Structure formats: structure tokens, C-alpha cells
């Protein structure tokens, strides 16, 4: 059965609850995508490391309730998950503040369990990761991750990479540029944004994308509400409908990625998949936090024909 592996880190999420109070939830870019994939009917497992504390237990329970598989989550005694605070302005634009330097997810590919995880990745139809995923690991961890992706691609598995560049996650720009280029060279699907590419590579950053390779699928999020999809030698501009009532743009890109991947796995064209991504992202930005209530999920997204196998 078709399954997706999503690799990265989930953190405790704190957001404004009004009256000087904070609401506690959880989130992280690849975890957000995994949750939305599960809600769209895709079998998905989350691959990360957590501690043995009550917060980690609560995260696992929440993921399992969402239908996200947790069989490859490594538990490290004495460690605590990272924490981030969302600060959103009146227009819904947000800033993040992190406490995560000793989070267990950063050690994932240096642990004794790393070979087991690498072997397990060979069995997934698609492996999803992001620029944030790459920033978690040191040089050794990234080398082991890339080796695992190479082995998976040799078995015919697909790699989807979302740029999600966060400068504070990197010790220097050169290391980040090298890691992103290595990921671009391995990705079958690249979900990028002009903002990420300019921050990372400068004004000519778009030129780093492998758009000249007709075998690759490039989804470029533009400054205006639209994406440009390049696939099979063709390019299409897919605009998004105007969205009113935006309160928080957290996970807009993560949910777009989930809907796009789900639609493509279900047989939709790249253009139809992009429209599906726009629809889900439009719903997400009308709510606070990374994961919106199930009742707020749009109906009849183009993902209904996906073959699923739920994890536990």
C-alpha cells in the first residue's frame, strides 16, 4: 500500500489566547504536513525523536488520534521536546521564537536506531522533508540522511523537498546553501518559495531550482498569491482566490504541501493539485495555530481516490 514518511521535528506550540494567556498545542512544519496528509486520507508516518516526558507522550497521543503513524518515533530518556512561540500581527503575519537547542529530534540520524530508520525509508512510496529538517542535523546526520534518500531513490521511491528556509536554524549561510543544493539534486518534487530562495541564495536564487530537468516537478510559490508549476517541460501559473478573514498564516505552506502531495498521489495533474493546495491553505489561514479543527477542513478536495493504509 502507498505510504508517506515525513521527517523532521515537532515542538510544543505556544500562541496568544488573549488576556495575557498562552494556549499550548504542538506543531512543526513536517508534522503539520503529516497531519494534513492523514486528514486527506494518505497513509503517513512521522519520523522523529522525542523525550520520555509528559509533553512527548501527549504529542504521540495527538498524532495517533490524527491517524499519523508513530512506529518509527525514537524516545530518548531525559530529553525534552523543543518549544516555539507564535507572535502574529493584526494582518495574520507571524514571527516565531524558539527554544530547541537540546531537542532530541536533532540527534535522530546519529542515534543507534539510525540504520533501522534508513532501512525503513526504503519501504515508503514517498519521503517528505524540508529545509527545517536539514537544519536539525549536524554534518554527520545530514550525510546519513542523504545516504538514506539515495538508497530509497535507487529503489524507485519518490523524494519531496519543501524549502522552508529559516536562517536562525543554520550556523552559516554556506552550510545551508550546500545542504539545499544536495536536497535539490535528490528531490523528485520541490516545493519552493521565492522568499526562501532569495533569503538563501540572493536575487538569483530561483536559478538554483532544477527546472531544466523535465523529470523533476517544481512548485514555486510566488510573492503574489500564486504558484508556478514546472513539470515535463511545461510551466503553468496557478493563482489563488482572494482570502478574507486571515488571522494566522502559520502552516499555510505546510498545508499546501500536504494537499498538493495528496492530490498528486491520487492521480491529479500538477495544476489541479496546486488548486487543491490553495483551497486547504485558504482554510488554514483563517484559524490560529498550525493545526485547524477538523470541522474547518474544506470538503471535497481532489484526494478521494488515494489508496490508504493507516499506521499506528
List, for residues 106-127, the tens digit of each pLDDT value.
Answer: 999 999 999 999 999 999 999 9
Sign of the CA dihedral running 36, 39, 43, 45? positive
Q: Domains in the chain, ordered, with CATH?
A: 3-296 (3.40.1190.20)
CB contact at 8 A, 128 and 33: yes
| pLDDT tens profile 48-97 | 999 999 999 999 999 999 999 999 999 999 999 999 888 877 776 778 78
Which positions are annotated as active-site residues? Answer: 254
Angle between helices 114-121 and 139-154 (to 10 degrees): 30
* pLDDT, tens only, 21-59: 998 888 899 999 999 999 999 999 999 999 999 999 999
Q: At 312, is the pLDDT very low, low, confident or very high (cuts 50, 70, 90)?
A: very low
**Single pTM value for the model:** 0.92
What is the per-residue pLDDT for 92?
Answer: 62
Residues 205-215, mean pLDDT to the nearest whole number: 92
Position 307 pLDDT exceeds 50: no
Amino acid at each position: 500500500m502507498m505510504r508517506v514518511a515525513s521527517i523532521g521535528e515537532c515542538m510544543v506550540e505556544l500562541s496568544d489566547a488573549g488576556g495575557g494567556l498562552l494556549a499550548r498545542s504542538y506543531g512543526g512544519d513536517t508534522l503539520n504536513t503529516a497531519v494534513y496528509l492523514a486528514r486527506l486520507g494518505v497513509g503517513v508516518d512521522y519520523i522523529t525523536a522525542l523525550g520520555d516526558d509528559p509533553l512527548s507522550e501527549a504529542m504521540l497521543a495527538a498524532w495517533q488520534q490524527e491517524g499519523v503513524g508513530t512506529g518509527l518515533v525514537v524516545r530518548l530518556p531525559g530529553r525534552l521536546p523543543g518549544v516555539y512561540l507564535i507572535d502574529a500581527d493584526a494582518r495574520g503575519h507571524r514571527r516565531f521564537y524558539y527554544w530547541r537547542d537540546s531537542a532530541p529530534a536533532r540527534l535522530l540520524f546519529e542515534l543507534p536506531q539510525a540504520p533501522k530508520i534508513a532501512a525503513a525509508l526504503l519501504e515508503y512510496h514517498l519521503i517528505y522533508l524540508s529545509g527545517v529538517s536539514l537544519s536539525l542535523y549536524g554534518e554527520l546526520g545530514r550525510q546519513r540522511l542523504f545516504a538514506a534518500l539515495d538508497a530509497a531513490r535507487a529503489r524507485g521511491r519518490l523524494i519531496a523537498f519543501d524549502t522552508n528556509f529559516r536562517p536562525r536554524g543554520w550556523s552559516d549561510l554556506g552550510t545551508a546553501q550546500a545542504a539545499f543544493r544536495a536536497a535539490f539534486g535528490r528531490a523528485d518534487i520541490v516545493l519552493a518559495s521565492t522568499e526562501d530562495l532569495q533569503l538563501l541564495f540572493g536575487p538569483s536564487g530561483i536559478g538554483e531550482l532544477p527546472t531544466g530537468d523535465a523529470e523533476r516537478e517544481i512548485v514555486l510559490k510566488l510573492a503574489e498569491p500564486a504558484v508556478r508549476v514546472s513539470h515535463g517541460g511545461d510551466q503553468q501559473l496557478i493563482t489563488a482566490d482572494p482570502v478574507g478573514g486571515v488571522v494566522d498564516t502559520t502552516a499555510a505552506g505546510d498545508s499546501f504541501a500536504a494537499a498538493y502531495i495528496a492530490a498528486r498521489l491520487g492521480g491529479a495533474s500538477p495544476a489541479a493539485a496546486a488548486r487543491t493546495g490553495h483551497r486547504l491553505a485558504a482554510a488554514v489561514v483563517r484559524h490560529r495555530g498550525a493545526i485547524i479543527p477538523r470541522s474547518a477542513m474544506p470538503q471535497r478536495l481532489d484526494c478521494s481516490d488515494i489508496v490508504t493504509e493507516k499506521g499506528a
